[in-house]
Structure 1
Amino acid sequence: MRLSKPIFALLFTANLCLLTGCNNAPPDPRQHRITISTDPSLAPSWQQQLGDSAQKLTPEEQQLLANYIERIQYRLAHTANPADVFNPAKTNPAIDPSNPNIDTSSKPSAAKAVKHPISILVATALVEQRAYEHQHPFNPSGKPLTLQEQYPLRVIATPTSLNEELATKSVPQRWQVVLRNLGPESIDTFAGTLSLPLSSSATLGPESATNPVIEIPPTQFVPPIARGKAGLFIVDVPPVIAAKFTPTQLAEPQSIGIVIDSGVIELADGESVALAATNAPSVK
């Protein structure tokens, strides 16, 4: 029987694959399956698993995939039943499923960690992580947040960013700062200190080896900052600190790092939250 040219070519290609071996891995890394485990010997890094195709993921996708793996590894480490890995309430009963941003004194035990790795399609992991971070933008790993992390700050405006004249050397700059409430109850007032981490090129001089802090007097929020919402307040930044930030940072205030160093947050239900102090020097 005489074979047609198309059929002959198909059979020849099939025999060549059998003899030399063919790479069946899809060229699109999103179509790869990756293995996730708390044991590195059972699951190498996602970069190793994807090989050269990992470079085809966008920077955003690479970060999403890394966050997804970290989140699932945390759940694997704190559950005994693989079926519960994707159930936050069973993974860590100390976390309120409706608000997994809350840190508690009750820590889940890692002694009952899932020993078997799990496998998932990269495309599925990206979709799930993107949806998760949309709901939890301040907690991509799903781990319980510390008290400081429950109350993140962001500088949203400085005199420079508002096209106003910079304060003189003897007058503090007035920065607009947003406090977001990821805690369990509405925030009524805050008093304490804020820390301004400086870059390696910006320091207060050899006499100060740590980040400076700014004292904040009792500040009341009207209305109280509801859970999941944010409130605005003004911070008077001493000239000695403001002078350490570059014009670019002052013009783009969201690039300036700022955190609560210590203080007391009074909640609307009458309870209070005390945040521990660090060893940073106070600047009044």
Structure 2
Amino acid sequence: MSALNLRPSRQPCCPLKVSFEFFPPKTPEMETTLWSSIERLAPLDPQFVSVTYGAGGSTRERTHATVSRLVQETHLKPAAHLTCVAASRDEVIRSYWDVGVRHVVALRGDPVAGIGAAYEAHPHGYQRTCDLVAGIKAIGDFEVSVSAYPEKHPEAASLDADIDVLKEKVDCGADRAITQFFFDNDVYFRHLDRVRARGIDIPIVPGIVPVQNFKQTANFAAKTGASVPSWLAARFEGLDNDVETRKLVAAAVAAEQVIDLVDRGVCEFHFYTMNRADLVYAICHLLGLRDQRVKAAA
């Protein structure tokens, strides 16, 4: 996937589905940007939109407020992120149910002290993600998504051990897995083959990140165990101070990736939006998705 190719993809073998991830805003300005992005992407009729949960449960209230507003003010189906960190067994789960949220993205979460520190469960909480999944399912008829790592979780002893963890989450009731972002599609398909060979048959949805800022993305990739190919670094070389060109290159790179995935039979995508709509909207347009309001008026 090292050569730029923006030809239209062939007709997909199944209906395309997309979902979008946002994070809760910290300031009034970020709040404005978030809701502007939601309004821009909502007409594409996503399967759901997820709202992240900060390290150590640091954004619990803001996550809850954002998903509550999504329920109350939009037609979108919000999926609230929830971790095992800094929360008792059911207090947060029940609060989501009470406001009308029926989809949870269940994650173990990073330690309160940050990535690399030893993980400690809440005294009245869950030690493992699979236990959190089972707990969510026991409280209500939630749809539950979990994470998957095509290049393994940084703390996993091996890729096989990481797939063992995914299998446990599925056995506890997970309905879907969303992958950590990746840039080499072969990495995704190799992981998919290994997952299927283990009898895991839930959807493994590729997580796609349009590169808003290459240095930030590369730094985050290093922390999460995702590799950054040399050809990708070359695409962004010399563009640190050229925002407009960087956006064009980012759109081309992400579009190339998703078109290749469609050509290889993938029909569902989860976009890490970084609360910015333009690149994601453009990529979805290239995939053939259109504003549903325009279709309805036609």
Relative contact order: is structure 1 or structure 2 higher (C-alpha 8 Å, sep ≥ 6)? 2
More helix by share: 2
Q: TM-score, normalised by structure 1?
A: 0.25
Q: TM-score, normalised by structure 2?
A: 0.25
